[in-house]
Structures are given as C-alpha cells and as structure tokens.
Amino acid sequence: MNMSREEARRAVITGVGLVSPLGQSPAALWEGLRAGRSGVGPVPHVDLAPFRIHHGGAVRDFNPRKLIADGKSLKLMTRPVRLGVAAAELAIADAGLDLAGLEAFRTACFVGSPGHAGDRDELLAATTLAMQSGHLDLQVFGSEGIATINPLWLLKSLANIVLYFVSLKLGAQGVNANICMSGAGGSMAIGEAFRAIRQDRADVAVAGGYESLLEEERLETFAPSGLLEESEGPPEAASRPFDRRRRGFVAAEGGAFLVLEERERALARGARIYGEVAGYGMASPGGFKRPCETAGAFLAAMQAALGDARCDAWELDAIFAYGLATDHSDRVEAEALKQLLTARAAYVPITAIKSMTGNLLAGSGPLEVIAACGAFAPQGDAVPAILNCEEPDPDLGLDYVRGGPRQGEFRRVLLNAGSLAGNVASLVIERPS
C-alpha cells in the first residue's frame, strides 16, 4: 500500500551518543566542528613506530568505566567494542527512555560493525609457547598453549557483540541486524531502523556504528592498500577531502549511535527531537575490482534516498559528503554530486567532516548524522567547513564549504557514506517540525 508522506509513520531522532576524536558529547562535537578544530593527532594507546602512519583520529581521555553501566561486562569487551557500547549507552540515556516501559517485541536494534574484533595480544603467550625452532608446533599449542588463553577470548571477538550488549540493555526482542559493511555499515543501520519504524515493525530503535582502525591488526591490514595517509606533516593538515593535495584517509576510531522513535510516540512523551530521518537509499557498484567506487553508485544511492523522502535535489539545503580523501573516491563522488544537483551545483553547500575526524569507518556515518543535527540546533544554523580544502579538486563548480562555517537556515540535508568495496548508503535528514 502506497502512503503519502503525511500518512506514513515517521521516525525522529530522540537520542544521540558518541565517542569521537572531537569529544564525547554532541555539544563537544558541534563546537569542534564550528571552530574548525582537527581531532587528528598523536595516538596514545598504540605505538605507531612499526607503521608508516604517524598520527590518527584517536578517542582521547576515554574512560569506559564512567560510560558503561555494567562494569563487569568490560572483561568481555575489546577497545572497539567499548567505544561502540559506550556510544550506544550515551544515546539511550540522552533519549530519556523508560526502559522498563519498552515493549520488547516493538524495540529494535541495528549495528554497523567491523566484524571480527578479537584481541590478538591474548594469543601471544600461547603462540610464543608453541614456537619451536622458528616454527609453530600445533601439538604444543593444543596441549599447553590453549590453557594460557583467556576462555572468554572467543566471546570477545564475536562480530555481533555490540548488538548483544545494546539489545540486552534495552530488553529488545524486535527486528535487529548486525551489518558488516565497512564505512557504509553505520548509515545502513540507521536506514534499516528508519524503515522498521516506518513499516510499523518497531516503535523504538537504537542504531549506529563503531570501529577502531587504530589497532595493530587493523593497521597491518590496511597498510598495503595505499589508502592510508602517511605524511609526516602537521597532523591537523593530514585529512584533505576534495583538495588537490589529498593523500589518503586518516585512520581513526570511535562510535556513534542514535535513538529513533515513532514521531507520535516521541511527541506524546515530550521527548526532545534532534531531527527526522526522511529517506534512505543504497547502491552497489556491482563488482570487486579496485577502485570499486563509481559515480553511478553514489548517484543511485542519493536518488533513492531522495525518492524515499519524496523530495527533489533542488530542495536540499546542504550535503555532508562521504569525502574519503582518496583521489578516486573524491573524484567519483564529486561527479555524482554534479549530476545530482545539475544547475544548483554552485548553490548547495557541501562539507566533509572526515577532514576533522579522520575515517571511523562504520562509526563515521552515524557521527555525521549527529553533526548534521547540529545545523538544526538552536545554537547551530551553520554547516561546518571542510578543513584543509584549499585547492578544490575536482573543480566541477560545486560549492565546497571552505574557510569557515556556512550560516543559513538548514531544513533538509543529504548525507553519504561508503564502504571500501564501493557500496554507498545515503540518508536524508530533516529539521524537526
């Protein structure tokens, strides 16, 4: 059954939570973005000496014991998982939900996850013990080494462990999904939560994503890709989306989650509303050859999101671009934006906050949604500038926000997120009405 926008159930954002390179609260994030402050710098918890990167977007002063209610559960969490659970708990608290009053089968949870998140350091004692004459002796590993491994190691490495902790806290037994889709995963989680509410499969949903690229195993995985920024220059100048001197994305970490709620329910309980999710679309380039991202995938995802929101490109007031800061990705996204906006290309402000945070992968999309909500806030009405975008490239006549925040009345924004395999997820977020 086709329903008009007015007749359809609507999903509003009533809670936000984040732990990021620009702080651990919406106010800190918005203030940092308005000030054009970079969150890229030293990485206290990782020795970067063995790697070719020299800085990252680290979450500093992170104290999970202050942010995660059940301290006993910390022994089951690696650092990335703690980042995700902390962000989700902050969002739930921010929404002011009465957890005891939630209907279990109408409460949903969607998580953008990096997948396997095991701590390999816990295996080192066992493998060291089993090394015989330079070779791993599996018999010694099985008979003696395994006894040295934390028996909870496998549980800590499960891909859906954040989904478990968040749904447990909520008592959620409704629709749910753990989405392992790299940098698109967090935005896809929000999109699926939005659909669940609109299609009357849920009344409340927690959705978001988390990741840490600032772990030894992840850095070793990405090092051969050629995608990471490896300059020894000033950290604050490292991330340069849409700038001619971009050199790759800055490795970062963090988590960001939203509470989505059916609009009438939120209004009835007097909830604060940050914004409304109005549309969601996604697309795939349909192949695995690198570079995978295509202008067609970006364009298809954006058009799908606008169609879902029942609006046209000319109704957009700003765009939060994927802005990965790799040569190919920025080029194809810019081409798609030019095709989407046509004659309005010079009049729609485009920003990219990875210039200040680095790339949180699955955490980036949700963090950028929270950033967009800052443009709707009473003290907001401004879209942050792209840091380090000094010589725009490709120069297609697009209106990149540079030099300082762009003031204005922002009612509707579009956001792009992408996976390193080329999948693109787009969201349309609107000012609360």
Locate 276 and state its tokens. Answer: 């409304």
Q: Which residue has the tokens 């210039």?
A: 355
The amino acid present at 148, given as its one-letter code, is T
Dihedral-angle region of residue 320 (phi above 0 means left; psi in -120 to 50 means alpha; beta otherwise):
beta
CA dihedral sign of residues 388, 394, 395, 399:
negative
> Would you give the end-to-end CA distance of the chain in angstroms?
25
CB neighbour list of residue 269: distance below 8 Å, 6 or more residues apart: none
* Residues in contact with 2: Cβ distance below 8 Å, sequence separation at least 6, in sequence order: none
3-state secondary structure of 74: helix
Q: pLDDT value at position 3?
A: 57
Q: What is the pTM of this model?
A: 0.94
CA–CA separation, 207 and 188 (whole Å): 9
Q: What pLDDT is stored for residue 291 in this prediction?
A: 60
Q: How far apart are CA 112 and CA 354, in angstroms?
A: 18
* pLDDT per residue rounded down to tens, the chain (433 residues): 455 555 689 999 999 999 999 999 999 999 999 999 999 999 999 999 999 999 999 999 999 999 999 999 998 999 999 999 999 999 999 999 999 999 999 999 999 999 876 677 778 788 888 887 788 889 888 888 888 887 888 888 899 999 999 999 999 999 999 999 999 999 999 999 999 999 999 999 999 999 999 999 899 888 888 999 998 899 999 999 999 999 999 999 999 999 999 999 999 999 999 999 999 999 998 765 556 688 999 999 999 999 999 999 999 999 999 999 999 999 999 999 999 999 999 999 999 999 999 999 999 999 999 999 999 876 668 999 999 999 999 999 999 999 999 999 999 999 999 998 899 999 999 999 8
User: What residues contact 39, with CB distance under 8 A and at least 6 apart?
Assistant: 20, 21, 22, 32, 57, 252, 356, 357, 358
Residue 413 · residue 320 · CB < 8 Å: yes
Cα(328)–Cα(339) distance, rounded to whole angstroms?
17
